Chains A and B, each alone.
Chain A
Amino acid sequence: MEITSNTFKKNAREALADPALQRAMSHVRSGFIDKRARAAAALPEFDEIRDTGRDIKNHTLAHLDLYLEAYEDRVRSAGGEVHYAETAESALETVLGICRKANAKTVTKGKSMIAEEIGLNEYLEEHGIEPVETDLGEYIIQLRHEGPSHIIAPAVHLNKDQVEESFRAAHTDLPADRDLSEPTSLLNEARGILRERFLAADVGITGANFLVAETGTSVIVTNEGNGDLTQILPRVHIVVASIEKIVPTLNDVSQIMRLLARSATGQDLSVYTTFSTGPRRPDDPDGPDEYHVVILDNGRSEMLGSEFKEALRCIRCGACMNHCPVYQAVGGHAYGWVYPGPIGAVLDPQLIGIEKAGNLPNASTFCGRCEEVCPMRIPLPKMMRHWREKEFERHLSPATARYGIGLWAFFARRPRLYQWATRWAMRVLANGAIGKGRYTSLPLAGGWTKYRDFPSPEGDGRTFQEQWAARRKSA
């Protein structure tokens, strides 16, 4: 997909002025935030399990090479194949190779962020294979030729009338006068159409929420059941997953399972948590004949040795974006690539380069809600700060920002001059706003006052240092 992260400011402005998007985003609060809070409160051990979840992931990452080897052994002994892919290109070639060998014309797909990350749909189409997204949200955005705007609710940016419009445009075999005014009728129509596709597909591709080293198992979590139909009906099942999805044991998975759905949708557990180990066994009446796992690195092994390694604990629940005031205001597409929100601001610069996504870590108010709700306790604001530092060091931030910071640094290094200058500025600002208490426009601060007033300084025009000194004296 085309990367537009560097025009975040422009994207955000457009998003704020888009009434349909703003209407759709209003569902985020009731849909995600309140439900998560209720689900977390209903499990007294929730916060303690967040600690064990974090520890499990830290332990796994510290021994990742060995757990990958153990996992791979188990998959092979269950009759499955493991393919490693260092880059997106390598993963794409591997998947295409398996599809070609199976003479595949259509593949069904369960929702997979890794498939989005490597651009799998476009690649398969270019090579004459038709990918069919089966998660309702993914199906809708595939019809609209859009990318996901959320990692677990890819169509959260749309309203039902937009879905209706897309269905009418795509499903031209159905009667034009059918009633699609209710979400149920839209769901039923998609169910009917996709049922045919499930039964006809040659290959099914899913992601994985976990890869279990103990048993060589891939785990998917869905509510619709589409992932299961994707992986049990076709002759070949391909799992695409990244290296950090490894978890040592089934007991470890159980810990993290207790966090995932609660943090994501506020459910105690998603409807379908499915554990798949190898292809169908000799006497099994159904299931795929072949089982392949494509394990993607794509920059993650380097992250492991950097200050961003803790982001590899992420279980892709989406809680950070649901609770982010910036995400809530502008939606996921403004971020300009696959992973939006706070986790996207940390991952995207690593995965596609700071030159292309260095702008995203600036899309934060540093309110800290993301870290507060992250089930894996990832210090997202700290990491966004690291990226900001890198962006500055590499001279990627705009000239005006660099000049401004340089100017501030000149004064900050000269305390007397700094005190004199701030004292002067405070007096001027306080006098200029007498009676109003705020400015609607200010020279050099147009970027601020364009959207909100600038408050005049409190404390009778005295600087913080003056007020502090006065307070110490009176105490």
Chain B
Amino acid sequence: MSDRETILGKIRRSLAVDTNDVGRRAIVIARLEGTPRGIVPKRGQLPAEQRVSLFSKMAEKVSGSVGRVAKPEDVPRAVAEFLRENNLPAAIRTGGDPLLAGMPWDDTQVEVSHGPSDGGDPVGLSHAVAGVAETGTLVLTSGPDNPTTLNFLPETHIVVVAAEDIAGDYETVWDDLQKRHGKGHLPRTVNLVTGPSRSADIEQTLLLGAHGPRRLHIVVVG
């Protein structure tokens, strides 16, 4: 007998259940299809503008920095300014995300290169498909235009998120993702990012920049 059959058999023996019990199967299917929500904290259940403020407040609480611009065309200027203020090189690495690609980067001095990171890029730029106000969390998905390496290898990570994509809670984000990718399907990687990388493994001292970015800057658009 394979390990699989042995394990499933032992589980059924322990639970004293039968494989042919249709009632149990129906319960499982109902949960997987119905995906009931549990308790969603009131904290994030706010009108749009307050949601954005809570998102920014929570992201700053975990040592992220947040800027805001009115429209996508303003992003390159805001990014250039951030790089200058922090004495960072005017060069970013990004994927081919349509929102970012459509921005007027030529109006700035920032040099833009495209593709995944090999660890040599000081600054990565990504587009988050959503934000979660509850905890100041960014939601980034992998795909042809969004390399996951950009979220982890560069020392500085700049993430653009549309104000209208900032949800109150995780549950809303899952609903939206399933609408986009099909029920029961997710992109290869979904990264929930809440602040820059950190470790407290040495004497419980909190230090930023363990293996991932030392700095996380968020640009909210709209």
Contacts and interface: CB of A to CB of B under 8 A. Distances in A.
A68 B144 contact: no
A83 B7 CA distance: 11
A31 B14 contact: no
A273 B192 contact: yes
Contacts of A225: 152, 197, 210-213
A156 B204 CA distance: 8
Nearest to B146: A285
Interface of B: 2-4, 6-8, 10-17, 19, 24-25, 27-28, 31-32, 35-39, 41-43, 58, 62, 95, 115-116, 118-119, 134-135, 137, 142-144, 147-149, 151-153, 169-171, 174, 184-205, 207, 209-213
B176 to A, nearest CB: 11
Interface size classification for chain A: 35 or more
Given A154-B201, A191-B211, 12 more contacts: A59-B31, A66-B28, A223-B198, A225-B211, A229-B152, A249-B31, A265-B200, A269-B137, A269-B194, A271-B193, A273-B137, A273-B194
Interface in A205-243: 213-215, 217, 223-226, 228-229, 232-233, 243
A307 to B, nearest CB: 12
A187 B202 contact: yes
Interface in A247-296: 248-252, 254-255, 257-258, 265, 267-281, 283-287, 295
A340 to B, nearest CB: 17
Contacts of A271: 62, 193-198, 212
B58 A278 contact: no
A228 B202 contact: no
A258 B41 CA distance: 9
A361 B33 CA distance: 41
Given A27-B204, A49-B39, A70 B28 contact: yes
Contacts of A187: 199, 202, 207, 209-210
The winner among B171, B186, B194, B198 for most chain A CB atoms within 10 A is B186
Contact of A274 (B184, B191, B199): B191
B135 A269 contact: yes
Interface string A137-161: 1001000000000000111101110
B41 to A, nearest CB: 5
A134 B27 contact: no
Contacts of A373: none
Contact of B7 (A84, A155, A160, A280): A84
Contacts of A90: 3
Q: Which 3 A-B pairs have CB atoms at the shortest separation, nearest pair first?
A: A225-B212, A305-B14, A31-B204
A269 B192 contact: yes
A286 B144 CA distance: 9
Nearest to A227: B211
Given A66-B25, A199-B119, A272-B193, A243 B201 contact: no
A238 to B, nearest CB: 16
Contacts of A304: 11, 14-15
A45 interface: yes
Nearest to B95: A285
Question: Which of A24, A65, A270, A285 counts the most B-chain CB atoms under 10 A from its CB?
Answer: A285
B159 to A, nearest CB: 13
Contact of B203 (A183, A228, A269, A275): A183
Contact of A280 (B10, B95, B188, B210): B188
Contacts of B24: 63, 66
